[in-house]
Structure 1
């Protein structure tokens, strides 16, 4: 009788585990599918930020359905049918961005007239406001030797006297205090017309997000190159990020009337496959070059120990005007910070 009771309890426990797994699959599948509604209701787009993670978990779960010893064997087929939902949803959201990384126009640098052009290397890098390792941060930048660096979450008083950066980049556009902005542009070439513009609403007290810092790089013998670095709010609170993007679009359009050769780079806190980023890219008078480049989080566990996952959010982006072609864009690595940097090679003309 005792053995029967133990067996019964174990059976009920197995059935409970099977039911919990099935419920978890239903919830996860629903979240992935709800992301598709962002096409109609933008508030659902926050779910699409995680579609790459949904896809990875779906693949792992699909493999697990063949290995898990179900107490009710029929649940195996049911679980596999349920997992088709997030698989189709994630592929539907991610596919345009993945194909964009292959179909985006690429310049053949071998056919460029070198007498009238010059190649510049740029870097966009969110160095993380709580990162105090100045020397390692400088090394993470200098190892790629960019000509121009766009920095986000930059603490002015912390980094303004880092000698290695001052030596390599004698021209720097930055705010005096971090509550003014946490953005900076470091350059090997003179900078002029520096502007710091607030894009955030008056309802937020966020000092880190919702700013754009602009400057004009003057490379002797070549057209002025307008530079903008930007850090957007997350899609929460709802509507704040949309406001940033709308105001940024208006600002860029107005600025380009004076400076047609333009580069915009920064942390947009919106994955490249999200409907928000697709719509913003389509309306902006610039070309987006950052397709399917997951940059967050890094493997650097000293910064955020709880983020053990590989990069699954493509939050950082590089845009340029058609007159400033980008012929190479790669994701870099960093020994500190919670974002991977983006490094791009661009051409400027006489």
Structure 2
């Protein structure tokens, strides 16, 4: 009887060693079909974490001698992990002479951040030319007003809720004849004059994935990105990973690409912000068009938010794809955003 009981326990353990990796494999595989339904795209955001969990859960199967099942689970997990860890291609060398370098800082402030002074100190330390912000709540407005002397050109979009809206702060003037605008409080758009060449700066904050409204958000903003012309930078809290269908759709319609590789930036709350760069979700992104060149992105120190700040260093090319002067980058009166 005891032997039978022992054999039953071993059978259950072996069954669990097979079923647990299978359990992780279901959402992992479905995440590759984000174009079919937003639910599957929600799974995709956790692809990196699901792949690691699946690989770890396959170890007991290997220990118990279930080599075929264990190795199949391990191969699937590592293959999925490879799709998010592939290094970004190195930027191509520019044929033209070196252009002036500018800086853009991207940060989701967190609406109830208790360390507002740390944010302002970081801005003063880095002195970016342009800042894109999210969760600019009512509590943040007096603090940001204090730096408007240094950033006199600004766009504040209406609050969507108590967490606030998006904003663009700039030391450089908005392009002559243009009017910054907000789109459903999802994105703020401003064409900024960078020493005679203009670039569209976009601050973006999307809802969470399905069952929340992220897919609907993308449909709302797609027509605007399809119409925008010239050099462009889209920075913000996308609430979506770089390998998600959401990012794929936005990069396709805006004709942009990521200025950085895998860069975990969010983790629960500010208490764990230092760990975010290792185990967090990479949901804060900076996308650039092909005329934004010589780009470098770095992750800055935590400043009380559950998101880490990003700093983009960039230049603006004055040559179009055919090698001639890019007329879209030259400022002219009446040069509107669209």
Match of 2:43 in 1: 47
Paired residues of 1:298 and 1:311 also in contact (CA < 8 A) = no
Residues 211 and 36 of structure 1: CA distance in aligned 2, closer, same or farther (over 3 Å): closer
Paired residues of 1:33 and 1:86 also in contact (CA < 8 A) = no
Which secondary structure does the structure 2 equivalent of 1:325 belong to? strand
Which secondary structure does the structure 2 equivalent of 1:226 belong to? strand
In 2, Cα distance between equivalents of 1:243 and 1:326: 34
Asked if 1:130 corresponds to 2:117, the answer is: no
Unaligned runs of 5+ in 2: 319-329, 331-338
- Of the three residues 84, 89, 92, the one matched with 1:94 is 84
Map 1:25-36 → 2, pairs under 5 A: 25-36=21-32
- Of the three residues 19, 36, 46, the one matched with 1:23 is 19
CA RMSD of aligned residues (A): 3.4
Residues 337 and 9 of structure 1: CA distance in aligned 2, closer, same or farther (over 3 Å): farther
Match of 2:129 in 1: 147
Map 1:1-350 → 2, pairs under 5 A: 12-13=8-9, 15-63=11-59, 65=61, 73-75=64-66, 77-91=68-82, 93-94=83-84, 98-99=86-87, 101-103=88-90, 105-108=91-94, 112-114=96-98, 117-162=99-144, 165-166=147-148, 168-175=150-157, 179=161, 181-191=164-174, 193-198=179-184, 211-219=186-194, 221-237=195-211, 240-256=213-229, 260-297=230-267, 300-301=270-271, 310-348=278-316
Residues 287 and 88 of structure 1: CA distance in aligned 2, closer, same or farther (over 3 Å): closer
TM-superposed deviation, 1:28: 0.6
Residues 287 and 15 of structure 1: CA distance in aligned 2, closer, same or farther (over 3 Å): closer
TM-superposed deviation, 1:184: 1.3
TM-superposed deviation, 1:149: 0.8
Which stretch of structure 1 is more off in the superposition, 41-50 or 77-86? 77-86
TM-score, length basis structure 2:
0.77
Aligned residues: 314
Paired residues of 1:152 and 1:267 also in contact (CA < 8 A) = yes
Which stretch of structure 1 is more off in the superposition, 228-237 or 57-66? 57-66
In 2, Cα distance between equivalents of 1:248 and 1:284: 10
TM-score, length basis structure 1:
0.75
